[in-house]
Amino acid sequence: MFKYILKKVGYLVVTLWIILTATFFMMYSMPGDATQSSMKVLPEAVAENLKAKWGLDKPVGEQYVIYLQNLAKGELGESYTTPGLTANTIIEERFPASLQLGLQAVVLGLVLGILLGILAALHRGRWIDFLTIFIAILGVSIPSFVFAALLQKYAAGGYFPIVGWAVSGSSIADQFKYTALPTLSAAIGGIATYSRFMRSSVLDVLNNDYILLAKSKGLSRFQIIRRHVMRNAITPIITIVAPQIAGVVTGSFVIERMFSIPGLGRYYVDSVNGRDYPMILATTVFFSFIFIFCMVVMDVLYAIVDPRVRKGIIEGKKER
């Protein structure tokens, strides 16, 4: 298992390097540079000094090597648009809001999605089943930003503010007031996905012979669900949880902008519009690391939860 985890970590490093390299050279292949907007209002000599300060006067290959050296030291670069502000500081200040929003959306999506999926499978053909299917269709069909706009129009304005974010140290009530609508907006896709997959997975497990054997032994319905159905039905969900977590935590750009949440996603969009190269690279590398790390954790958890995967890893080692 240790070698398996080590191999996955190696894939993480290589994939992250490929993403970083591709982003770096594609970004620097764009026409113009970060001083293009400044050159319209500043003397040419000042713009050239800015290029020299930021290292933009060097060949792209040399800039790439310098960036890798700084990255190895943990330095993600300094903002071009806001001199003195480093990417490390931006991530430290803005990521907590994105993380809070993402984790709340994931937890809400998992709890409601799994619960609805189980109830729909156990009451197939009844109203709870049709309600779950309806929610799944809505969640898949309606984009999260459209759902967010509908919530802002019909649910906000009273107790729930349309925009804003609770300041640090606020009470639980204030945090709930500001995070409820954006969390629900970000979670609607997860609710639809988890409920749909869980319903299919539970129905598949209920048709297996060992469920019939458990019933013949006299186990109660609750015991069958807890001991046999849940453990076997939840395994396929693990394969979609990791990308969902990474996607919600790192991909709520539009939600953050619509609700004026001071998160990292919103700053990422601003840095792209302002051609702030160090910030674009830093946030891309950071988001990519989170996504790939979640995928690695998913693979490890899948091997732990599913004995068949564990057996395949062991047999693969024996064949070598």
Residues with Cβ < 8 Å from 260, sequence gap 6 or more? 163, 164, 165
The pTM assigned to this predicted structure is 0.76
Please choose, from the candidates 262, 111, 108, the residue with its C-alpha nearest in 3D space to the C-alpha of residue 180.
Answer: 108
Helical H runs in the chain?
2-28, 44-54, 60-72, 87-122, 127-141, 144-154, 172-206, 209-216, 221-224, 230-251, 253-258, 264-273, 277-305, 307-319
Domain boundaries in the chain? 91-262+301-306
| Cβ atoms 56, 16 nearer than 8 A | no
pLDDT of residue 249: 66
Q: Which residues of the chain have pLDDT under 50?
A: 38-39
pLDDT of residue 39: 43
CATH number for the region 91-262+301-306 comes to 1.10.3720.10
pLDDT of residue 38: 45
As a residue count, the chain comes to 320
Tell me the C-alpha distance between 243 and 237, whole Å.
11
List Cα–Cα distances, 125 to 137, 139, 192, 196, 255, in angstroms.
16, 20, 18, 15, 35
Tell me the per-residue pLDDT of 209-266, one tens digit each, with 9 for 90 and over: 877 888 888 877 778 877 777 777 877 777 777 777 766 666 577 788 888 888 777 7
Tell me the C-alpha distance between 264 and 256, whole Å.
9
List Cα–Cα distances, 113 to 15, 106, 192, 221, in angstroms.
31, 10, 7, 21
Tell me the per-residue pLDDT of 260-290, one tens digit each, with 9 for 90 and over: 888 777 777 777 777 778 888 888 888 888 8
**Virtual CA dihedral for 36, 37, 42, 44, nearest 10 degrees?**
10
